[in-house]
Amino acid sequence: QVQVLESGGGTVQAGESLRLSCTTSGLAFDDYVMGWYRQAPGKTREGVACISWYGDKTYYLDSVKGRFTISRDNAKNTLDLHMDSLKPDDTAMYYCAADKGEYDFCSASWPLYWGQGTQVTVSS
């Protein structure tokens, strides 16, 4: 049984930083491209960042470029999202995702596996 588990959400002030982490079980981590999606209340879920099997290729949503950094450690089966200069518009439930597609899968499709999400709230 595949499990995807996020951690690290919380409430911060605008301009502060936060790091989200994701671990998986039940799948061969380095066989999957990984990514983060988010969904704000009343809005469609959107792909925020995704990364190739070996971490050499990344995709970022335009609104987070230069502020968010996605990384993975295949030896530890972990995926991170470092979020700097957070804005109130970044407030959302953030979901870790795993897929068998291309490294930029999160830009245009839904993944094979989702986590339950972790809430990020940015106050002004």
pLDDT in tens, 18-31: 999 999 999 999 99
CA–CA distance, 76 with 73 (Å, rounded to integer): 5
pLDDT of residue 33: 97
Confidence of residue 102 (pLDDT cuts 50, 70, 90): very high
pLDDT of residue 121: 98
pLDDT of residue 99: 96
pLDDT of residue 17: 98
Do 72 and 78 touch, CB atoms closer than 8 A? yes
> Nearest 5°: phi and psi at 72?
-140, 155
Mean pLDDT of 78-92: 98
CA–CA distance, 83 with 68 (Å, rounded to integer): 4
CA–CA distance, 76 with 62 (Å, rounded to integer): 29
